[in-house]
Amino acid sequence: MNLDNARILVVGAGLMGAGIAQVAAQAGHNVLLFDTRAGAADAAKAKLATTLEGLAAKGKLTPEAVAATLARITPVAALQPADLVIEAIVENLDIKRALFAELEALLPDEAIIATNTSSISVTALARGMKQPERLVGMHFFNPVPLMKLVEVVSGLGTDPHVAQAIEALAARWGKTPVHTRSTPGFIVNRIARPYYAEALMLLQDHAATPERIDACLRAAGFRMGPCELMDLIGHDTNFAVTNSVFAANFFDRRFTPSLVQQELVDAGYLGRKTGRGFYRYPEGAPAVPV
Ligand code: NAI
């Protein structure tokens, strides 16, 4: 299985899907980008154009490279056949399973489906598929163009050759693939969940503000503090991941979801993507405390 020249369909043109489409196109792949939200794929491509042109203006990319990358990304209005599908839709087991059923009806038998799920069991996601062996986790980190790590996750039925092909592809894209078996939260989110949980408990106890917590962790050597990181991830996604890891660990209290996070989701304060989370994000200006 060689994916070097694979035609790729990215499903979900949100934070992660847009970044994955960019990285794949920059590596030379023809990429189709689909989202059920009308206009989302076009908007993601337009935003990418602005970002890449900004980099070209700073001399970090040539105008030819920008044009070539953009020419390789095609927003599409319906699912299409491809050699590799990378799924980056909402973190929900039933919705992802329904998508895989739709995909299997139109994909060739040898096509691979990779899921960017942060936390849902790859084994469980594959249940009901005609070819469960072709599903594998390909878990990128945010922001995709900058973060090197990719967790390659095998479920119980994943064909080892499929996982190896995805590892090779990620390495070719300049990423650092790490293979793991599908366990709740995989490697990084298993460790990160209690880290976020402690920050949320400090907030609930009124022990410190988000700015103070973030300043402490940055001073301790982390690139970002937990509150600004949760704002970057998006509270809707992060809360869904917390709930999923909590349930998958048989409701172990170390992974208990937080009311602080529930409130942010209820209010629609989803972080950077909505302009407000723990911080406010005025257009074109640095973050400010709420
Ligand atoms: P997002 O909310 O920014 O984007 C999700 C997109 O999927 C939306 O544009 C939505 O319209 C679309 N969508 C929903 N259902 C769909 C369907 N059935 N078919 C096609 N498109 C559909 O979410 P984000 O942050 O990009 O997350 C996507 C996936 O990536 C989730 O599984 C998440 O857990 C995972 N992930 C997120 C990370 C983060 O930092 N936000 C990091 C790593 C993984």
Q: Where are the domains of the chain?
A: 8-181, 193-279
Give the pLDDT confidence score for residue 286 in this predicted structure. 84
285: left (phi over 0), alpha (psi -120 to 50) or beta: beta
- State pTM to two decimals: 0.95
Backbone CA torsion sign across 27, 30, 35, 39: positive
Q: What is the average per-residue pLDDT within 240-247?
A: 95
**ipTM of the prediction:** 0.99
Does the beta carbon of 16 lie inside 6 Å of ligand 1? yes
Amino acid at 33: L
Closest CA to 179 of 207, 209, 158: 158
Q: Which two tokens stand for residue 185?
A: 């939260």
Rounded distance between C-alpha atoms, residue 143 and residue 79, angstroms = 25
Which residue, by CA, sits nearest to atom 29 of ligand 1? Answer: 88
Secondary structure of residue 244 in the 3-state scheme = helix
The catalytically annotated residue of 189, 235, 238, 244 is 189
Catalytic residue of the set 87, 104, 116, 118 = 118
The CA 281 to ligand 1 mean position distance, Å, reads: 21
Please state the atom number of ligand 1 nearest to the C-alpha of residue 37. 11
Residue whose CA is at the smallest distance from ligand 1 atom 36 = 118
Tell me how far the alpha carbon of residue 207 lies from the centroid of ligand 1, in angstroms. 33
**Contact present, 142 and 19 (Cβ < 8 Å):** yes
Axis-axis angle for helices 259-267, 235-248 (nearest 10): 140
Q: What is the mean pLDDT of residues 147-175?
A: 98
pLDDT of amino acid 30: 98
Mean pLDDT, all residues of the chain = 97
What kind of architecture, by CATH, is found in domain 193-279? Orthogonal Bundle (1.10)
- 242 in contact with ligand 1, CB cutoff 6 A: no
Round to whole Å and give the CA distance between 279 and 287: 6
62: burial class by Cβ within 10 Å (0-12, 13-18, 19+)? Answer: exposed
Look at residue 162 in the predicted model and tell me its pLDDT: 98
DSSP state of 272: G
pLDDT digits (tens, 9 = 90+) for 44-83: 999 999 999 999 999 999 999 999 999 999 999 999 999 9
Residue 112 in contact with ligand 1 by CB distance below 6 A: no
Q: What is the pLDDT of residue 283?
A: 86
> What's the confidence (pLDDT) of residue 1?
85
CB 142 within 8 A of CB 160: no
User: 251 CA distance to ligand 1 centroid (A)?
Assistant: 24
What fold, for 8-181? Rossmann fold (3.40.50)
Please work out whether the CB of residue 212 comes within 6 Å of at least one atom of ligand 1: no
